[in-house]
Amino acid sequence: MPRLLLATGNLHKQEELKSLLRGLPYEMVTPSELSIDDRVEENGCTLEENATLKATTFAARSGILSLADDSGLEVDALDGAPGVFSSRYAGENASDADRVNFLLSKLKGVPAEKRGAKFRCVIAIASPQGKIELCIGECKGVIALAPGGKEGFGYDPVFYLPQLGKTMAELPPAQKNEISHRARATAEARHLLINIANAQY
């Protein structure tokens, strides 16, 4: 069975990706399991550039097919910010709670009807030979006035889904994995990975 490197050191992402990719004909491995340095300087200007940078770097380090994602929150009232800087929006060493509070402070006084936002996810799949495929997923919502829910991570507690009447952090993981931006990008990635696996036999 071919191996697929989940090119992230983020344990939350590893868990989510393993769940979303379950059933594929791959042995999924992580950088720590291969004793590979999981640090990559994400200096791209777009989610696409960062995902590609991570996937190609890990494919070169490991010599196996690698999958990386970069995700961002784009808020209408902030002209698309924080976007590619989502994880560093409140500073390099900020916690999830710090980032949420910083975002809410930026939106202080902005009415509900102007708090539209979307999560975007770009997944890059890179081979050691340098071939790259990109898959993109989006999920639209609204930034809540205050955090709610204990599930998920990142900005999930303030990403409100009007059609469900809940924040992303109030959804059970199984439900989140049906509708999230990462779930939508991964659904496309599953088809690509199956085709790649079939081509190897």
What are the extents of the domains in the chain? 3-199
3-state secondary structure (DSSP) of residue 117? strand
Q: What is the pLDDT of residue 63?
A: 95
Q: What is the pLDDT of residue 87?
A: 87
Helices (H), 4-77: 11-20, 47-62
What residues form DSSP beta bridges with 123? Answer: 69, 135
Q: What is the pLDDT of residue 200?
A: 66
Q: What CATH number should be reported for the domain whose range is 3-199?
A: 3.90.950.10
Q: What is the pLDDT of residue 196?
A: 87
Q: Let me know the angle formed at the C-alpha of 195 by 192 and 201, rounded to the nearest 5 degrees.
A: 145
Active centre residues (catalytic): 70
CA distances from residue 178 to 21, 119, 171 in whole angstroms, order as listed: 12, 14, 10
Q: What is the pLDDT of residue 140?
A: 96
Chain centre to alpha carbon of residue 201: 30
CA 189, 25, 4, 168 dihedral sign is: positive
Q: What is the pLDDT of residue 78?
A: 96
3-state secondary structure (DSSP) of residue 40? coil
pLDDT per residue, tens digit, the chain (201 aa), is: 899 999 988 888 888 889 889 999 999 999 999 998 878 888 888 999 999 999 999 999 999 999 999 999 999 999 999 999 998 898 888 999 999 999 999 999 999 899 999 999 999 999 999 899 999 999 999 999 999 998 878 999 999 999 999 999 999 988 988 899 988 999 999 999 998 888 765
